[in-house]
Amino acid sequence: MDGTNVVGSRPDGWWKDRPGAFRRLVDALQPLAAAGDEVTVVFDGRPAPGLEAGDHGGVAVRWAERRGRDAADDTVVALVEADADPGARVVVTSDRGLAARVEALGAPVEGAGGFRRRLDAQSPGTDKRPTM
Protein backbone atom coordinates (compact mmCIF):
# COMPACT_ATOMS: atom_id res chain seq x y z
CA MET A 1 0.00 0.00 0.00
CA ASP A 2 1.21 3.46 -0.93
CA GLY A 3 0.62 4.84 2.56
CA THR A 4 1.40 8.46 1.80
CA ASN A 5 -1.03 8.32 -1.12
CA VAL A 6 -3.78 6.87 1.07
CA VAL A 7 -3.21 9.49 3.77
CA GLY A 8 -3.26 12.21 1.11
CA SER A 9 -6.53 10.97 -0.37
CA ARG A 10 -8.47 12.70 2.39
CA PRO A 11 -7.81 16.44 2.80
CA ASP A 12 -8.29 16.49 6.56
CA GLY A 13 -5.27 18.63 7.43
CA TRP A 14 -2.93 15.63 7.59
CA TRP A 15 -0.04 17.75 6.33
CA LYS A 16 -0.05 19.67 9.62
CA ASP A 17 0.91 16.47 11.45
CA ARG A 18 2.32 14.04 8.93
CA PRO A 19 3.72 11.57 11.53
CA GLY A 20 0.38 11.57 13.35
CA ALA A 21 -1.50 10.96 10.11
CA PHE A 22 0.76 8.00 9.31
CA ARG A 23 0.20 6.55 12.78
CA ARG A 24 -3.58 7.00 12.45
CA LEU A 25 -3.55 5.10 9.15
CA VAL A 26 -1.59 2.23 10.69
CA ASP A 27 -4.05 2.14 13.60
CA ALA A 28 -6.97 2.04 11.13
CA LEU A 29 -5.32 -0.86 9.26
CA GLN A 30 -4.77 -2.99 12.36
CA PRO A 31 -8.30 -4.48 12.37
CA LEU A 32 -7.72 -5.74 8.81
CA ALA A 33 -4.53 -7.45 9.99
CA ALA A 34 -6.31 -8.85 13.05
CA ALA A 35 -8.99 -10.29 10.73
CA GLY A 36 -6.33 -12.23 8.83
CA ASP A 37 -5.35 -9.89 6.00
CA GLU A 38 -1.66 -9.44 5.29
CA VAL A 39 -1.18 -5.67 5.36
CA THR A 40 1.99 -3.85 4.33
CA VAL A 41 2.14 -0.06 4.13
CA VAL A 42 5.02 1.91 2.63
CA PHE A 43 5.54 5.57 3.50
CA ASP A 44 7.70 8.29 1.96
CA GLY A 45 10.15 10.25 4.07
CA ARG A 46 11.93 9.60 7.31
CA PRO A 47 10.46 7.18 9.84
CA ALA A 48 8.00 8.88 12.16
CA PRO A 49 8.81 8.70 15.88
CA GLY A 50 7.24 5.53 17.24
CA LEU A 51 6.53 4.24 13.75
CA GLU A 52 9.80 2.68 12.73
CA ALA A 53 9.94 -0.04 10.08
CA GLY A 54 8.57 -3.32 11.36
CA ASP A 55 5.41 -4.86 12.74
CA HIS A 56 2.84 -2.55 14.31
CA GLY A 57 -0.12 -4.57 15.54
CA GLY A 58 0.05 -6.91 12.55
CA VAL A 59 0.65 -4.13 10.02
CA ALA A 60 4.07 -4.29 8.35
CA VAL A 61 5.37 -0.73 8.13
CA ARG A 62 8.06 0.05 5.59
CA TRP A 63 9.74 3.33 4.68
CA ALA A 64 11.05 4.25 1.26
CA GLU A 65 14.54 2.87 0.92
CA ARG A 66 15.83 6.07 -0.62
CA ARG A 67 14.79 9.68 -0.94
CA GLY A 68 13.47 11.48 -3.95
CA ARG A 69 10.84 11.07 -6.61
CA ASP A 70 9.02 7.73 -6.65
CA ALA A 71 11.06 6.42 -3.71
CA ALA A 72 8.15 4.68 -1.97
CA ASP A 73 6.87 3.53 -5.36
CA ASP A 74 10.15 1.72 -5.96
CA THR A 75 9.84 0.01 -2.57
CA VAL A 76 6.27 -1.12 -3.35
CA VAL A 77 7.39 -2.44 -6.76
CA ALA A 78 10.27 -4.33 -5.12
CA LEU A 79 7.81 -5.97 -2.71
CA VAL A 80 5.56 -7.02 -5.59
CA GLU A 81 8.54 -8.34 -7.58
CA ALA A 82 9.63 -10.42 -4.59
CA ASP A 83 6.18 -11.96 -4.15
CA ALA A 84 5.82 -15.46 -5.62
CA ASP A 85 2.16 -14.69 -6.43
CA PRO A 86 1.74 -10.94 -7.05
CA GLY A 87 -1.80 -11.48 -8.32
CA ALA A 88 -2.82 -12.53 -4.80
CA ARG A 89 -2.14 -9.02 -3.50
CA VAL A 90 -3.91 -5.75 -4.02
CA VAL A 91 -1.75 -2.65 -4.25
CA VAL A 92 -3.55 0.44 -2.99
CA THR A 93 -2.54 3.65 -4.75
CA SER A 94 -3.91 6.40 -6.94
CA ASP A 95 -0.51 7.03 -8.50
CA ARG A 96 -0.93 6.11 -12.17
CA GLY A 97 2.75 5.40 -12.67
CA LEU A 98 2.93 3.04 -9.71
CA ALA A 99 -0.35 1.39 -10.74
CA ALA A 100 1.01 0.70 -14.23
CA ARG A 101 4.24 -0.74 -12.85
CA VAL A 102 2.59 -3.19 -10.44
CA GLU A 103 -0.17 -4.16 -12.88
CA ALA A 104 2.58 -5.09 -15.37
CA LEU A 105 3.86 -7.47 -12.70
CA GLY A 106 0.41 -9.02 -12.27
CA ALA A 107 -0.79 -7.24 -9.12
CA PRO A 108 -4.28 -5.71 -9.12
CA VAL A 109 -4.71 -2.10 -7.97
CA GLU A 110 -7.33 -0.38 -5.84
CA GLY A 111 -7.58 3.41 -5.76
CA ALA A 112 -6.45 5.09 -2.55
CA GLY A 113 -9.58 7.20 -2.14
CA GLY A 114 -11.94 4.28 -2.59
CA PHE A 115 -9.90 2.14 -0.23
CA ARG A 116 -9.88 4.89 2.38
CA ARG A 117 -13.65 5.35 2.17
CA ARG A 118 -14.13 1.60 2.46
CA LEU A 119 -11.70 1.41 5.37
CA ASP A 120 -13.52 4.20 7.16
CA ALA A 121 -16.94 2.62 6.59
CA GLN A 122 -16.16 -1.07 6.85
CA SER A 123 -16.20 -3.16 9.94
CA PRO A 124 -13.07 -5.28 10.35
CA GLY A 125 -12.87 -8.60 8.59
CA THR A 126 -15.48 -8.18 5.88
CA ASP A 127 -12.91 -8.06 3.07
CA LYS A 128 -10.37 -10.87 3.04
CA ARG A 129 -8.25 -9.64 0.14
CA PRO A 130 -4.62 -9.20 1.13
CA THR A 131 -3.59 -5.58 0.88
CA MET A 132 -0.17 -4.15 0.19
Question: pLDDT digit string (tens) for 4-53?
Answer: 999 999 888 999 999 999 999 999 999 999 999 999 999 998 899 999 99
Select from 20, 26, 19, 51 the least CA-distant residue to 41.
26
Query: Residue 120, Cβ neighbours under 10 Å: how many?
Result: 9
Q: Please say whether the beta carbons of 128 and 37 come within 8 A.
A: yes
pTM of this structure = 0.87
* Domain assignments of the chain as residue spans, ordered by start: 3-121
pLDDT band at residue 66 under the 50/70/90 scheme: confident
The runs of H, that is alpha helices, within 1-132 are 3-8, 18-34, 71-82, 96-104, 112-121
Tell me: pLDDT of 128 over 60. Answer: no
